[in-house]
Amino acid sequence: MLKPLIFLVMTIVAFSSFADEYDKENFKILDLGEKATSYGWYVPYQINENTYAILAPKHWQETVSYLFVGTEKALLIDTGMGFGNIKDAVDAITNLPIIVANSHTHYDHVSNNYLFDTVYGRDHEFTKKNSSGHPKSTWQNALQPSAVSGPLPEGFSFEKYESKSFKITKYLKDSEKIDLGGREIEVIFTPGHTPDGMLFFDRAAGLLSTGDTFYPSTLWAHRSDADFKDYITSAKKMAEMENDVKYILPGHGEIVANPNFLGELYKAFEAMRDPNTPFEKQEARRRYEFDGFAALVKDPPE
């Protein structure tokens, strides 16, 4: 009677420790005070001694921004939807000058860019169009009370909300390194989800920010601004990096994810090219389910 019980307990312990390694519950939440977190709208996590994730968990988008702190400068990757003031949170974490760079320029990643003086981005038509501001009409499903679970930041109103224009102060090149003082962050162009997608890689620490190119939920490769062929090329590049990554830092939902998703993402894109892979047909698009994530693509995908 005892043996099966011991086996059961050991199995539970083994499974929970496996699951826990990438669970945000394991990371410390910083106490920055009410105002700095836009009254709890943002939840700031510490990932390692000089890297932070700023999650907005009360909106279904659950956007995550990342702050990489060097000895001279800090890099803020993505600024979220702009419901709260993310600059207050960043300024409460570091006094260093801030460089903003975006994983891509969809509204839910750039809408606090206007608060910062230094913004790096792509020299690309798509980026230029988006830097002039996002029309509210494009994102109605995210800009209504039903999108939110919990109190909105003080002073926020859906009527007054706008995704403001911002100015790019420096164009980034593929493979360029951003020097933060004692810390280098590599820029890796990964079009697919959008034409201006890029990863930010702290190779020394094994931290890879993937934006919307990968997060462990439903990936969007079906919209008119997505390109399936580009996405496969980017996914292949990412699969080759798997062994150098300790944590994926995804753009939505989770603050870290298992690096083995990098290889799985490429396999998933290869599988979607195979006519025998099952999918769910949804009007003009297909939905494919994989282990730990899903993908929406056009019908046919390419």
Chain residues binding Zn ion by CB under 5 A are 106, 212
Report the residue number, 183 or 252, with the smaller CB distance to Zn ion: 252
Beta-ladder partners of 288: 295
The CA distance from 270 to 27, in Å, is: 34
Q: Which is nearer to Zn ion, 58 or 106 (CB)?
A: 106
**Least CB distance to Zn ion at residue 270 (A):** 22
Q: Give the strands of the sheet with 247-250, arranged side by side.
A: 177-179, 184-189, 198-202, 207-211, 247-250
Of 224 and 276, CB closest to Zn ion: 224
We find the least distance from the C-beta atom of residue 19 to Zn ion, in angstroms, to be 27
Amino acid at 112: N
- Please report how close the Cβ of residue 189 comes to Zn ion at its closest, in angstroms: 15
User: Of the two residues 50 and 63, which places its CB atom closer to Zn ion in the complex?
Assistant: 63
Q: Shortest distance, CB of residue 193 to Zn ion, whole angstroms?
A: 6
* Placement of tokens 């282990």 in the chain: 291
Q: How far is the CB of 104 from Zn ion (least distance, A)?
A: 6
**Nearer of residues 37 and 79 to Zn ion, judged by Cβ:** 79
For the bound state, the minimum distance from the C-beta of residue 75 to Zn ion, rounded and expressed in Å, comes to 19
Nearer to Zn ion, 205 or 232 (CB): 232
Q: Which is nearer to Zn ion, 212 or 254 (CB)?
A: 212
Tokens of residue 284, six digits: 């003009």
Dihedral Cα 284, 227, 258, 75, nearest 10 deg: -130
Nearest Cα to 268, choosing from 175, 192, 186? Answer: 192
Q: 212 or 242, CB closer to Zn ion?
A: 212
